[in-house]
């Protein structure tokens, strides 16, 4: 038996790669549903704009704590029927779907914030192993193809989820306004459908995808390891991050606040600054918020389509240059929202954001390719998430003060500030990340897009 037979996973067909990625459609459906609507729900329940960041604190805190732990545990889990990662997919999807059903019945801010906490905890339980799932199942030549497929599923799930409130109002004629303290009917039914798609998509992946059992040496290696050993291993991995991971993590640290500020304020900024709505009970505000959600759905469609050509662009320009350009497109999209007078121009703004989002979901992971130890992929993916959630924690704890005392609760300025941070991320990416000299040759090998290596 050759070394390749022992150590390299067999190539999968396109259908198999799609099957193992469908679950991410459901997970992203849940994420985008709450991202596009939680700011609106909070304001319906009486929150001021400067209170919104703190109410979003659940997501980053749970990601910071849950993802490395779940990564460590899933690295060491094996069940003859359910495998290694799939038990976490199922538990996370089931509880998250229940939280989605109850969310639009929140009668107070504390209830909505509590349900968001539950949703984020178990959303992270379902999501974190999916990144490691790609490297578990695919050979090196198909790893990036797996991440790109996840990006496509994220774009598809996000587009449908973000558009649902508009669809429910304009096609199914469900009301999009509600008295203070209650949630509009179109938002309620959107969350019900979100619960269904979240669970059904994850269940599909669980039932159609098998996992490879660990090597006997891997099983023996884990005997006697407990929680204390796991904590030490997580901190050891954090201290010994590869150099490339350190720089890519810094890029992430400045990228994600731009996205968070968009998710915090974009739909309500459109409702107030572009449409001229007054508050959550104003039909003009409700129409503007629905339209804002529709344009978020559009950027997810752009993400889905752009992911089809992204590997070719990365092969031609290099990963760091591609990512830097995509981040600049996103920054321009966010900053230009302030100059929109015709609502349809928001689609042009969101085109830039969709391009950036496709790259954010794949290029950082491609840039890490080959630099992480195979037996600790779950841990390192969890640690990599630190540099996504830490800026959100900072924003959640401190941006409310900035919003109230510096930005005068101007939601649009907050969105623009996010675009400025994304520019910083693009500059760091282009200047500090080093790529090998024979970029095209290496990228073709890493991305697996040569003609003779295509699936």
Domain residue limits, the chain: 19-212+232-453
Average pLDDT taken over every residue of the chain:
83
Confidence of residue 370 (pLDDT cuts 50, 70, 90): low
What value does the mean pLDDT take over residues 359-384? 79
pLDDT above 70 covers what percent of the chain? 88
CB 388 within 8 A of CB 64: no
- pLDDT per residue over 187-228, tens digit each? 999 999 999 999 999 999 999 999 988 664 454 344 445 556
The CATH-assigned architecture of domain 19-212+232-453 is Up-down Bundle (1.20)
Confidence of residue 396 (pLDDT cuts 50, 70, 90): confident
pLDDT given for residue 59 in this prediction: 66
Q: Greater confidence, 53 or 423?
A: 423
pLDDT given for residue 442 in this prediction: 40
- What DSSP line would sit under 346-393, residue for residue? HHHHHHHHHHHHHHHTTHHHHHHTTSS-GGGHHHHHHHHTHHHHHHHH
What value does the mean pLDDT take over residues 12-40? 89
pLDDT given for residue 451 in this prediction: 31
Confidence of residue 5 (pLDDT cuts 50, 70, 90): very low
User: Given a cut of 50, is residue 246 above it in pLDDT?
Assistant: yes
Confidence of residue 7 (pLDDT cuts 50, 70, 90): low
- pLDDT per residue over 131-148, tens digit each? 778 878 888 778 767 878
Q: Greater confidence, 265 or 422?
A: 422
CA geometry: angle 285, 155, 315, nearest 5 deg: 135
Low-confidence winner among 148-152, 303-307, 340-344 (lowest mean pLDDT): 148-152
> Which residues 6+ apart lie within 8 Å of 212 measured at CB?
9, 136, 137
What value does the mean pLDDT take over residues 251-260? 91
- Nearest partner of 101 among 50, 30, 41, 159, judged by Cα: 30
Confidence of residue 371 (pLDDT cuts 50, 70, 90): confident
What value does the mean pLDDT take over residues 28-33? 89
CA geometry: angle 260, 98, 382, nearest 5 deg: 45
């Amino acid at each position: 038996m050759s070394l390749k037979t022992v150590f390299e996973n067999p190539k999968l067909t396109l259908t198999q790669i799609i099957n193992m990625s469908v679950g991410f459609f459901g997970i992203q459906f849940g994420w985008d549903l709450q991202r596009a609507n939680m700011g609106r729900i909070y304001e319906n329940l009486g929150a001021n704009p400067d209170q919104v960041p703190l109410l979003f604190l659940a997501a980053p805190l749970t990601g910071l704590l849950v993802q490395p732990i779940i990564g460590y545990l899933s690295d060491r889990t094996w069940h003859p029927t359910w495998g290694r990662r799939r038990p976490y997919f199922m538990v996370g999807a089931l509880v998250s779907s229940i939280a989605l059903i109850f969310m639009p019945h929140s009668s107070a801010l504390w209830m909505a914030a509590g349900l968001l906490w539950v949703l984020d905890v178990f959303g992270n339980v379902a999501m974190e192993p999916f990144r490691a799932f790609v490297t578990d199942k695919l050979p090196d030549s198909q790893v990036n193809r797996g991440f790109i497929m996840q990006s496509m599923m994220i774009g598809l799930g996000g587009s449908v989820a973000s558009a649902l409130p508009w669809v429910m109002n304009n096609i199914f004629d469900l009301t999009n306004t509600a008295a203070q303290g209650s949630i509009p009917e179109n938002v309620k039914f959107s969350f019900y459908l979100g619960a269904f798609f979240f669970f059904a998509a994850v269940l599909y992946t669980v039932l159609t995808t098998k996992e490879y059992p660990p090597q006997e040496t891997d099983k023996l290696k884990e005997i006697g390891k407990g929680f204390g050993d796991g904590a030490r291993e997580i901190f050891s991995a954090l201290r010994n991050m590869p150099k490339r991971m350190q720089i890519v993590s810094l890029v992430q640290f400045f990228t994600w606040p731009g996205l968070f500020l968009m998710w915090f304020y974009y739909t309500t900024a459109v409702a107030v600054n572009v449409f001229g709505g007054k508050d959550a009970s104003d039909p003009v505000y409700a129409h503007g918020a629905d339209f804002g959600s529709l344009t978020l759905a559009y950027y997810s469609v752009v993400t889905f389509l752009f992911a089809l050509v992204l590997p070719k662009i990365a092969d031609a320009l290099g990963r760091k240059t591609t990512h830097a350009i995509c981040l600049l497109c996103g920054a321009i999209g966010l900053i230009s929202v302030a100059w929109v007078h015709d609502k349809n121009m928001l689609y042009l703004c969101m085109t830039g954001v969709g391009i950036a989002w496709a790259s954010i979901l794949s290029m950082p992971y491609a840039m890490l390719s080959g630099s992480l130890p195979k037996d600790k992929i779950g841990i390192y993916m969890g640690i990599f998430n630190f540099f996504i959630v830490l800026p959100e924690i900072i924003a959640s704890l401190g941006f409310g003060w900035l919003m109230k005392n510096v930005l005068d609760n101007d939601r649009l300025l907050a969105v623009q500030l996010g675009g400025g941070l994304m520019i910083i991320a693009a500059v760091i990416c282009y200047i500090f990340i080093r790529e090998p000299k024979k970029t095209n040759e290496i990228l073709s090998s890493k991305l697996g897009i040569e003609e003779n290596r295509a699936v």
